[in-house]
Structures are given as structure tokens and as C-alpha cells.
Amino acid sequence: MWCFFKRFGAVMRLTNALYSVLMWGVSACCGVIAAEPPEFVRDIQPLFQSHCGSCHDGGERSGGLDLGAGLVRGGDSGPVLVPGQPDESLLLQLVTSGAMPPEGEPRLSGEQIDMLRRWIAAGARMPGSQQIPAVNSDRIEALLLLRCAACHGASRQEGGLDVRTRDSLLRGGKSGPAAVPGQPDSSLILQKIAAGEMPPTRRLVEAMIKPITESETQLLRQWIAEGMPQAVVESGKSSELPAGAREFWSFQPPRAADVPEVRATGRVQTAVDAFLLQRLEQAGLTFAAPAEPAVLVRRLYFDLTGLPPTWQQLQRVLQDSRPDRMSRLIDELLESPEYGVRWGQHWLDAAGYADSEGAQNEDRIRADMWRYRDYVIRSFNADKPYDRFLHEQLAGDELADYESAAEVTEELSDNLVATGFLRTAPDRTFANITAFVPDRLEVIADELQILGSTVLGLSINCARCHAHKFDPLSQTDYYRLSAVFKDAWDEHDWLKPLDERLLPYVPTAERVAWEQQKEQLEDQIAKLREQQKAVADAERKELDAAIEKLRQQIPREPKIRALWSRGRPSPTWVLLRGDYLKPGRRVQPGVPEVLEPGGPLLSYEPPWPGAQKTGARLAFARWLTKPDHPLTARVMVNRIWLQHFGRGLVETPANFGVAGARPSHPELLDWLAVQFVRSGWSVKAMHRLLLNSAAWQQSSAVSELSERRDRENQLWSRMPLRRLDAESLRDGLLLVAGALSERRYGPADPVQVRGDGLVTVQPEGEQWRRSVFALHRRTQIPSLLESFDYPQMGPNCVQRGESLAAPQTLQLLNGGFVHDLAVRLARRVVQAVEQSEPLSATGEARELRIVQLYRMALQRDPEVAELRELQSGLDQLVREWQQSAGTGGAAGAGGAGNQSVLLNSAEFEGFCNLCHAVLNSAAFVMVD
Amino acid sequence: MRNGQEVHRRGVFRSLAGGVSAVAMLSLLDSESGVSRGAVRAEDESGRPGGPVHEPSATSVIHLFMNGGPSQMDLLDPKPELVRRHGQEHFDRIAGEVEFPEAAGALLGSPFRFARYGQCGMWVSELLPELSRHVDELSLLRGLYTTNLTHEPALYKYHSGSEFTGRPSLGAWITWGLGSENQNLPGYVVLEDPQGLPVNGVDNWTSGFLPASFQGTRFRATGAPVLNVSPDFVEPASVTAVERQLIRRLDRLHQQNRAGQSRLESRIEAWELAARMQTSATDALDLSQETAATLELYGIGREPTDAYGRRCLIARRLVERGVRFVQLFINSQIWDNHSSIGTALPAACARTDRPIAGLLTDLKQRGLLDQTLLVWGGEMGRLPISQLAADRNPGSSGRDHNKNAMVAWLAGGGVRGGVVHGSTDELGFAAVEGRVGVPDLHATLLHVLGLGADDLYVSRAGLKERLTGVLEPTVIREILVRS
């Protein structure tokens, strides 16, 4: 059973590969079809019962297929029979390719297969009312939506015609009914197609459709000829779930075990430690010694704020003698606005944030995307409960009525900004030529993939083309999920990303300010226009220029890049093999069956009376955040763990499925998940639990025992040594050089591209803002960030790389940016020493500067051996500068010319090199 | 396997000319342990052979990319029937395959003369006089097609196997999988046109979800050759040397205090490599080491061939030094001849014909052609009907995009010469025989380099990601010496 389920996926790929071979083989042997067609009860039914019944009868329905009563309906992958067209019938394809019956089961003989073929070719007739119409309205609706609805559908009804349903075809348009049942030749729609008038060939690109194909026209003709039969309506819910599928660990709701008893009670600072120690002690291990306080403070600052502490901040903690000083620091940093900048970035990675559309050469800027970035940062700072956070991001537009609100509050506006989560995928549909249905489906698929990998921890994207190969996720599950979003993401009723899919509901105050500014400028322009009437030509031109200048000052209308429901979703079909040209069974909005014992279909209603919204997404978001949801809390606590500890409890943060990793500490994961929900989904509560643990606060030193018994650190017998991530490195460099701006939020800082491809962020005056506020244009990622593993958002990133590669070294060593920052750091050091100490001998001054440099850059004093190297290095550097006076350098460029203390420029130049060396050293880039 | 930590070195083949060791050096630019932690995401199992899996017939690739979509029926796929039916209406039969329906005109016979060349008698247009001397070295693909008729998706497809953004490019896959044979140069070098980036810009050579160090490294013929390879600032060389010495000492001290941290060792290795790269790159780009005759061969020093000639010559110097994958781009889509194909296409040919022929000659003379695979082609082909400007003047006719047929040729390592594989219909609209998709072309490249399509993969988001996609590609064995 289970085995079949897995096989089915594998088979689909095989089927594709074999398809052409099959087609060829079939047409070659058509000539030998015997005269008399087989009869269902006599010939076919016994065949099904003997060869297929053990998996596909009323009781067992592998792939959702019941070859008894369900023959007409088909299975998970849609209808299995197409009367008259054996080659189009999935059943025959699978049998012929050898995929079915599965390996080890008795196969059908050549004669039996031939009989099946002939039966289907003759119309797949069955006794009684069971007859399968060759084509029904379901198939035709899908077809007309694809080929005609762009001009005769939801948004436009040219000629008064709407082709979307059987009824609307019968009703017709200005020229009368579009179709007459049983009379294809009198049906206007077929006449227009036959005459080549519809779809109008010269307008195909404008309408973003492709011409109707010959076989599709035939299908339409056949349907009309047969009297336009209605679709077979699905009678009720039928489970497609293999028995036992829900028993897999991650499909069971998390249950909190008791906190275990351990021997090393002294090392238990939070419950986390007990769970970890239990396993460590079993292996004869315990935690490494607690990290040095100074090491811990640096680690903590980077972890929670993405910045190093200043020397003063560090001293303040070290001088605090209270036993809970670390815990107080954790609380303090969680309240710092830098916390949201740092932890917002982790979420932005997972959401696939970018400031451009990508996928097209222009890589068009998403001028309004930053609002979502700000929303995420502010949400983390506010410790917005994760359930609320998800509700807003998945269905903010369905939370409250923004259209008829007298005032758009911050909250109302934020609800819409939050849906930017569903607008991050690369989107090339802003141009007609790349906005055909398959292009649109790709955007939707990317968004579902992001949702799956980030929130659900499931690779649901696999089920787009075939049943998931490992997890009990069917194509029906996938398309039910896409139906949830259809009210907003509708490939047949599309809004273009850059102009149409934006909402004006920014907070009223902001909007009013914009309007006033605009009116003011327009008034001025109007006045100049008046003046123009009365003056001579020359002066008129001058005024033109002034008007143009004013016009350019009119700010852009503030808009929100949102996703919203429109209350008129097209139907959703399972797309066979993911092919938009092969609609299968029609499905309703629902959730993966394996995750919901209560049944997959969602019940939903418009969120407020009169809302032009189905409410399906809101229902989905609430389902996701029900307290006993098997995945939502687990996936999020694992993500938090991953960022703190460098590796998840589940090592595959985006895949909690069968092919993903099993949790290294299942009881701990579940305990945390349950705690998370109990704490009101508070992310900060999770931080406190993890950061206050002895596990997180232990040293990263590798002991011989820990190396031997826990080589890969699977048990967390030490903290991993980590490399700074891209943003922490850049922001840290800026901070220590005194070049970091404190301004947060708002439109992204532009980037510039040098001739050789170097991308840098434009400063604001002498300062730069934190990296999260730089423009993240897909084709112009700042080079420094990129070489330190800032990810390609394709479509998102669930875990950053931590590579160590030569281009990083080159960036740090040779880049002008780092060099300039080193000079600024040198100046800061020199100034600080000058301010705190009276002038002294050169040797003494040098030592003071070196110590100050270490305190500023690395928040510690140099060790004796280091000091020796630094002193002799500085000696040499200064000497070299003296011997090559006049060759470049920072001081020569006016760097520290006004520093009276620097007796000569060689002294300063040498010290700049020293600063540069320290910024390039492992001590700066790595975190113990 | 988890964490991509384990690197397979099965069947690393020794090759070829003069017993030069072809043992791949994976560690260029990414030390092994650097890759290990999450550089390819932690969840990912990966197939990274670390060298050829079967015996390769070439060790390097020079990819001559012709941005814009060269017109197959005007260059390498003559269509007498199209000439005969010149002027007939045809649009309605192919309406769904036209990017600009409103500009579509009648069938357009090629205005250029074709003749047969070489021992094989291959048909070549008068626009490619230099290439026509080398037809006995070429395998011509006339049955090639792609899946999207717009530049961006077609470019993504051509360079990464998928119509969408964010996948590793061909060169990234190959260098990630095979490593490099030169420790001091990047394995994947892009020679871009100094006049500007191609459509899709740097996405064309992205490393996608592979580590960033496998993206194409841009080499420029002028100015600083490689990003950050030389300092952005001026200081005496002796100062630089002292500072680097100091960093090295500080890092050793840092490491000594942290026994057992292999990552620190990796960092130091990466550091040493970076230092060596600085001199090697400069040397590879120094064309003053070449003779006047060689420069002349590539058309360097005269117009319109100078710029492209330089890139072709640099390409030779790079493969000579063991660079795995060299890719040449031209700015502004010179092959995208929507209008005035009668003049624009000859101009595009004039810029490139001699340099490419020069490259073939030079590689052959130096015995490098046997181990270097040359690939020529664009991201799409062009339509048999004309595209007209608003004034509908046939004199300035061009051709619109065509995804159903395009042309490419391969030459060098392991590829047969004088072969024409596949054909189009009588009008040149669609490939009909010997149909070859872009993934098939990619699989063929991998095959020549000693890899099967399944040898290179990364498991990601539940999918085994391969260059060639989910469906099985077909290696074009008909054009290989050893099929």
C-alpha cells in the first residue's frame, strides 16, 4: 500500500519518458484492431478484479483510484479513461509502460492489454448509467478559460459574452447564444473558431493567450454535439491517504514529554539543557566549560543584533556582579531595535525577500517592497505572536475591512503590507509576452514552495507534477492548496505585478501628507502656467524648465505591494503531470489530507458581511495555527534553534517529511514546540529559553573527549565556531569604523555598479545604513554580501551557506570599501587614545593604540604574543612607508592631516595597515 | 553524504595530451571543508563527482555564446523552398509562435547566397567566409529547439537548463562538479563585452543554489582584470607584503589557541589561494606575450574584429592554463535581427567570423583542439516570416524570435567533424528530424567532459536538482567520435 504510493510517483516520471515511445508503438499497431469490441462485464471487469483489485477496489484506493465504482471518476491524477482515445488514457499508459501492476505483481498479457485498448477505443462502454461522457463541461470550462476568458471572462466580456460556464455559453452575448446543444454547426463559438476569427490571431500577445488547438476545437465540437453534458459532480469526500500515513512522526501533533532527570544538575540552566544532557550523559559526555564572559557577550550581541558590542557595552556587563547579568543582557538586547533588524533578516531569507522582480532583463525594481521588510522587522521587535504573524502574512486582507474603513490605521495597513510575504517570488508577468498562463503558474508555484518550505516544512512543490515520491502528499493535495489561494492568485484572472497588483491603503496620515505635498506642488505648477500665458517665448521656456523641475518633485503615490482576494476565483483543476494543458479533476480549497484527520476540505465564509472575498486563505491561516498543528510550531522553533546553534534539531529545516532528517532530539523539539504555543507563540520567549541555556553558553573549544565521542557535534557537546554571516560582517565593519548610520526603515538604499562588476551600496553622506536596508536587487547584490553567502533567492533561502573561499579574501584585502573603513577605524583609535591619554613616547603611544584598536575591533585586549607581532609589524610598516614616501596611502589623501598627534604621515599610514590587518584577521571574521 | 561533506572521487581519469594530469582540484576557491557546512545547504545531499566519471574526450569548454538568436536560415540552414515562396502569407498558421503579431509580414527568403564547403560539403552562407574553411571540424545541429520565444526565459534555459531565474549555470555546475586544473585561476571564467552586459546580466553565469564561488568570474580585457584581484587603493608593494605577513601570523596565533577547529585551517588555505590568483590572472590576460602573426590571426588590431578577437585569444590562453569553462559574450544582442537583417546580420558576422575561425586555427595548431570543446550558438532561432517596421517597408525586414528551430555547432574534443545532425521543415520554422532540446545539448557537453547527466545533482526542496532537469536528456551520440 505504502509502497504503491511511493512507486506511483516514480512511475509518473517513467511514464513521461516512455510517452513518446508508447505513442509511436500504438499508432504503428492500430491496423490490427479486431472487429468486435470487448464487453465490459464479460471481458474488462474480471481483468480489473484479478490484476488491479487488491489496490484499487472500494476498500483500498491507492492513488485515489477505485476501479470498481470509481472508474468514471478516476483517481488522484484525474480520469484514467478517455473514451475513444486509448493513447490519452492514463490507465492504458501505465499498463503499457509496465508501471502497473507494480513490480512483483502479475502483469497483464499482451492480449489482455490489447483487449483493454480496444475497449477504450470503442468508447469504454459500461452497462447502465455508468457511461463516461467522452467530454463534459468540466473539461470544456477549463479549455475556454484558457483560450477565451481573457476577453470573455471575469474582467472583460467583449461582445457581452462570458464563456466561463455552460450556462453563460447558452446565454451568449450580443450576437446570441454561443452554443446550441447538439448542433455544433449552428454554434457561434465554433463558427468563429473555424473562420479563424477567434481567438483573433493579431491580438494573441496583447490578450496573453495562445491559439486554440485543432484537437481542442474537436473536443469542443464533440461536447456540443453530445448535448453539452454536465460534469460528473464529485459525490463526497473520498480519502486518498494510504493507511498508516499519519503515523509518521511529524504528522503527529507534538506532545511535551517530561523534562528528563540528569546527573549534572549544576549545568541545567533551562529545560533545554536537561534534554541535551540526557543524551550527552548517555555518551559519557557533558557540556563544554562555560564560555568566557567576554566571549559570550560578543557571541550574544552578534546573535541577537547582528553587531559586535562596543568595548563600553562589554565592560558594563563584565562589571555587573549580579548573578543574572547574562539573562538581563539577553532581555536588554531583545528590546533593542537592532534585534528586529537581525531576526527580521532571517525571516526575509525564508520568505525570499528581494527588491526586484528578477526573471527579466530589466530586473524591475519593486519600489514598494520595503514596506514588507519594515513590517517584518517591526513585527519581530514587537514580539508579534507567530500565529498572528502568519495570519497577517497569509490573509491580512481578509482580517479586517480596509476598503470601507473611515481611517486606514497602521494596523489595517500593516495587514495588507504583511501579504507581501506572498509577493516575493520572481515575477516576470509584468510584460505581456511573459505573462501567459504557464508564466503565471510559475509565480504561484514559487509562492507555494516558499510557503511549504518556510511554514509547513514540507516539499509540497513536489506534488505539483506527480504524487510526492516520499511523503503522502498527492497532486490533489497540491491543487487543493493552490485553490486556497485562487481568489487572489488566479492564473485566469491576472493582475500584473508592478502596476495592477498594488493597493493604495497606506495609513491615512501618510496618504494625507502625500496628497498635501502633491497638491502644493501642483498649485505651484498651476501658478507658473498662469504666468507663462503672459510672457515672451524665452521666458516661457525658462518657466517650462521650472515646471518640469517641480513635476519631478511630486512624490510617487504611496502603495502597498499586497495580495488580496477579489471574491471571484476561477475553478481549480488538478493539472496532470503539472501540465496546464491537461486539466484533470476539479478540486476545492483544502489542506494536505495527511495533516488533517478531520478531512482535507476547508470550510470558510466571507470574512465580513458583504466582503468580496471568499475567506479561504484566512481559514487556511487559522488552520495552520491551531494549537495541535503537527508542523507549524515545530518548524518555527527548529528555525529559531538553527539560527542560535548553527544547525537545526531537524537538520533539514524545510523538509520535515519522510526524506528529511529525523530530529536529533525529538523530545526536545516537541517540548519546545508545545512551549512555543503555550507562550502565546512568543518568539522572544523561545530566545530566552535557548539563550539562557548552558548549552548555548558553553565554550566552542574542542576537547579531546568531545572530538572523539561527538565528532560532528551532533550532541552539542560544544558550541560551533561560526563565521560571521554577510550582514553581520558588513555591519560590524561599519560599526567599528564609526560609519554605521542608525537610521532605520524606509525605501532601500540604492546600489552602484562599477565597470568591473563591483556592486556597492551608496552611502548617506559619510555613513551607511545596516545591510538589510540596502537595495536587494536580484542582479545587483552588493558584492561583499554576495561573496559571504548572501543567497540567490530562488525562490527563497531556508539556510545560508557558511563558505570560506578565496573571493571573500580578495574582497576584504583589496576592496576599497574595507580599506576606507580601516582608515576610519585608525582615525577613531588615534582620537580615542589622544583624548584619554597625555602625549607620550612613540613606543608607548603605539602600544596604547594597538590596545585601543583591539578593544574597538575585537572587544578584547591583545594577548602577549599578539601584541608582540603587532608591535613588530607596525615597526616594519612604518619603516616601509618612510622609505617609500609619496606612494599613495590614506594620510596623503587628507585622511588624518588635521590630527596634530600624528607626528608624521608614515606613522599613521602604518597604523592604517595594522587596522586593515585586524579587520582581515580570523579573529574579526569568526565568532567563538 | 549529508552536508555534502563527502566528495566522490570515483574514477578520476588521467588524460590526455602529454600525460598532463587531469586530476581535478576541487579545492580551488572553495576548500573542501568550506563547502561542507551549508555552502550547499545543510539538508542537501549532493552528487559531486570531483572528476570525470567516464573517460572524457575534452577537459575544457569554450562557449561562444551568440546573444540574441542567430538566424538559422540565413547562416547555416539554407531553405530554397522559403526563397521560392518568398512573399506568401503564412502568419495565421504560426500565430501563437510570434512575439510581435502586429508586425508580422510574409515569408522571407534568405537574401544571402549559400555554397557547399569542405570535404563534407556543408552548406554555409556567404556571411561566414572564414568559418566555411573549418566545416570539416564542425558538428552542426540543425534540429535544435528551445521552449520559450522570449529572450530572458530562453537565456535562462540555455544557460541553466530552466526557463526561470536562480538555477546554477552550465559553467557553475561543471566547475562545481569537476573542479579546476589550475590552482591559481578560477575554473569558470566569463569574458564579457566591455561595452555592456548581455540580457539577464550576471544571471547568465550565476551559481544559483551552488556556493557563490562557482559563479563565473568576470575577466576584462582592459583595466583591472578581475574583481578585487588588485587593490582598489595605492600602496607600496613592500607595505602590502608586510601587512599580509602580519595577517598570516595573527591567524596562526588565533588558530593555535583553538585546536581542532578545521574551519580555521580552511580559511587560511582560501587566503593563500587568493594571493596566488592575483599574479596568475594578470599573466593570463597579458596579450603582449603573443606574436604579431597570432594577433593577426584573430583580427586583433583592426575593426570590426578587435574586441571579439581579444576575447577569443584570451579564451585560448585560459584553456591553455587549465581553466575548465570559458564563456564569451557580446553586448547588445547583435544577433537579434528584428529589422534590417540584410545589413545587421552581415555586421554581426563581420565582428565574429574571423576571430572564431582564428581560434579554431590556433587551437588546432597548438594541439589544444583535441581537449577543448567549442560550442557556438544563441538562445533561440528566427522565423521564416518577416518582421516589419511600422511603415511596413519590406526593405528593412527582419525576423522575429523562433523557439522551434535554432542552430548550433560544436567542434574539438571528442566531436566529429563535417557532420550535420538534424533538419528543419522546408521553411526552417521547426526542427523535424534529429530534434535536440537544450537539455540534450547540455547532457552532451557533460558527456564529453566525462559526466553523465545524473552524476551531478543537489537534493533541494525535495527535488533532485540536475542541470538537465527532471526528464531524462539524450546525449547526441551521432556527433561524437566515441559514441
Q: Per residue in A574-605, is it b (16+ CB within 10 Å) or e — as a string?
A: bbbbbebebbbbbbbbbbbbbbbeeebbbebe
Q: Which residue of B has its CA nearest to A809?
A: B271
User: Does residue A910 carry a pLDDT above 90?
Assistant: yes
Nearest CA in chain A to B194: A755
* A884 chain-B contacts, CB cut-off 8 A: 236, 238-239
Task: Give the pLDDT confidence score for residue B201 in this predicted structure.
Answer: 85
Q: Which residue of chain B is at minimal alpha-carbon distance from A463?
A: B462
Residue B77 is placed in which grid cell?
A: 540552414
Whose cell is 548610520? That residue is: A741
What is the Cβ-side half-sphere exposure of residue B150, based on CA atoms within 13 angstroms? 21
Residues of chain B with confidence (pLDDT) below 70: 1-45, 221-225, 461, 483
Q: Which of A280, A303, A268 is nearest to A645 (CA)?
A: A303
Q: What is the pLDDT of residue A47?
A: 86
Closest Cβ opposite residue A434 in set B33, B153, B255: B153
Question: Tens digit of pLDDT for each residue in A383-418?
Answer: 999 999 999 999 999 999 999 999 999 999 999 999
Query: Over chain A, what is the mean pLDDT?
Result: 89
Q: State the smallest CA–CA distance between residue A459 and chain B in angstroms.
A: 5
Residue of A461, A465, A756 to mutate, testing the B interface (most B Cβ within 10 Å of its Cβ): A756
Facing residues of A764 across strands? A767
Yes or no, beta carbons of A459 and B201 under 8 Å apart: no
pLDDT in tens, A160-199: 999 999 999 999 999 999 999 999 999 999 999 999 899 9
CATH 3.40.720.10 domain span(s) along chain B = 58-225+285-450
A 836-865 near B (Cβ less than 8 A)? 863, 865
Q: What pTM value is reported for the model?
A: 0.86
Task: Give the pLDDT score at B222.
Answer: 64
Q: Please check whether residue B148 is in contact with residue B154, taking contact to mean a CB–CB distance below 8 angstroms.
A: yes
User: Which residues of B fall within a CB distance of 8 Å from A922?
Assistant: 250-251, 254-255, 264, 267-268
Q: What is the pLDDT of residues A213-268, one digit of tens each?
A: 999 999 999 999 989 988 866 544 567 788 889 999 999 999 999 999 999 999 99
* Nearest neighbour of A803 by CB, restricted to B34, B208, B260: B34
Cβ-defined contact of B266 to A787 (cutoff 8 Å): no
Three-class SS of residue A495? Answer: coil
Element (H, E) at A117: helix A110-121
- CA distance, residue A513 to nearest chain B CA (Å): 38
Residue B463 φ/ψ, nearest 5 degrees: -115, 140
DSSP state letters, A433-465? GG-SHHHHHHHHHHHHHHHIIIII-S-GGGGGT
Q: Which of residues 211-270 of A touch B (CB under 8 A)?
A: 211
Q: Given this model, what pLDDT does residue A904 score?
A: 59
SS (H, E, C) chain B: CHHHCCCCCCCCCCCCHHHCCCCCECCCCCCHHHHHCCCCCCCCCEECCCCCCCCCCCCEEEEEECCCCCCHHHHCCCCHHHHHCCCCCCHHHHHHHCCCHHHEEEECCCCCCEEEECCCCEEEECCCCCHHHHHHHEEEEEEEECCCCCHHHHHHHHHHCCCCCCCCCHHHHHHHHHCECCCCCCCEEEECCCCCCCCCHHHHHCCCCCCHHHCCEEECCCCCCECCCCCCCCCCHHHHHHHHHHHHHHHHHHHHCCCCCHHHHHHHHHHHHHHHHHHHHHHHCCHHHCCHHHHHHCCCCCCCCHHHHHHHHHHHHHHHCCCCEEEECCHHHCCCCCCCHHHHHHHHHHHHHHHHHHHHHHHHHCCCHHHEEEEEECCCEECCEEECCCCCCHHHCECCEECCCEEEEEEECCECCCEEECEECCCCCCEEECCEEHHHHHHHHHHHCCCCHHHCEEEECCEEECCCCCCCCCCCHHHECCC
Q: What pLDDT shows up at residue B483?
A: 65
Q: Is B231–A428 a contact, with Cβ atoms under 8 angstroms apart?
A: no
User: Which chain B residues are Cβ-neighbours of A654 within 8 angstroms?
Assistant: 43, 461
Cβ contact B274–A810 (<8 Å): yes
**B34/A805 CB distance under 8 A:** yes
Looking at the DSSP bridge assignments, the partners of residue B326 are B62, B189
Torsion (CA) A905, A908, A914, A918 in degrees, nearest 10: -140
Shortest CA distance from B104: residue in chain A: A202
- Taking only the tens place, the pLDDT of each residue in A832-876 is 998 876 656 667 889 999 999 999 999 999 999 999 999 999 999
In angstroms, rounded to a whole number, what is the distance separating the alpha carbons of residues A624 and A630?
9
Q: What is the pLDDT of residue A90?
A: 79
Distance CA A195, CA A302 (A): 69
Q: Checking DSSP bridges between strand B60-65 and strand B423-424, what pairing results, if any?
A: unpaired
Reported in sequence order, the residue ranges of A686-799 that DSSP labels E, i.e. its strands, are 722-723, 751-753, 759-761
Cβ distance of A434 and B261 shorter than 8 Å: no
What would the pLDDT profile of A642-691 be if each residue is shown by its tens digit?
999 999 999 999 999 998 899 999 999 999 999 999 999 999 999 999 99
Cβ of A205 within 8 Å of Cβ of B99? The answer is: yes
- Closest by Cα among B174, B122, B80 to B425: B80
* pLDDT computed for residue B155 by the predictor: 95
A647 contacts B271? CB cut-off 8 A? no
Residues 700-759 in A contacting B (C-alpha not used; CB under 8 Å)? 700-702, 707, 721, 723, 755-758
ipTM: 0.84
pLDDT of residue A886: 62
**pLDDT given at position B282:** 83
Q: What is the pLDDT of residue A898?
A: 43
CB pairs under 8 A between A and B: 307
Report pLDDT for B33.
31
CATH of B58-225+285-450, one of 3.40.50.720, 3.40.30.160, 3.90.1150.10, 3.40.720.10: 3.40.720.10
Give the cell for residue B97. Answer: 509562435
Which of the two residues, A711 and A449, has the higher pLDDT score? A449
Does the distance separating the beta carbons of A651 and B250 come in below 8 Å?
no
Residues 143-202 of A with CB under 8 A from B: 196, 201-202
Which residue in B100, B228, B271 has the most chain A C-beta atoms within 10 A of its own C-beta, making it the best mutation to test that interface?
B228
Contact B227 A758 (CB under 8 A): yes
Bridge partners (DSSP) of residue B480 are: B415
A756–B277 CB contact, under 8 Å: no
Expressed in angstroms, the distance from the first to the final Cα of chain A is: 50
Phi, psi of B75 (to 5 degrees): -120, -55
Per CB-CB distance under 8 Å, the chain A contacts of B151 are: 361
What pLDDT band is residue A912 in, cutting at 50, 70 and 90? very high
User: pLDDT value at position B36?
Assistant: 32
Rounded Cα distance between B358 and B305, Å, is: 11
pLDDT at A16: 42
CA distance A872 to chain B (A): 9
Which residue in chain B is spatially nearest to A783 when comparing CA positions? B227
Contact at CB, A723 and B263, closer than 8 angstroms: yes
Instruction: Give the minimum alpha-carbon distance from B288 to chain A in angstroms, rounded to a whole number.
Output: 22
Residues of A in contact with B156 (CB under 8 A): 359
Asked if the C-beta of A916 comes within 8 angstroms of chain B's C-beta atoms, the answer is yes
Give the pLDDT score at A574. Answer: 92
Could you read off the pLDDT of A800-831 as tens digits, one per residue? Answer: 888 877 788 889 999 999 999 999 999 999 99
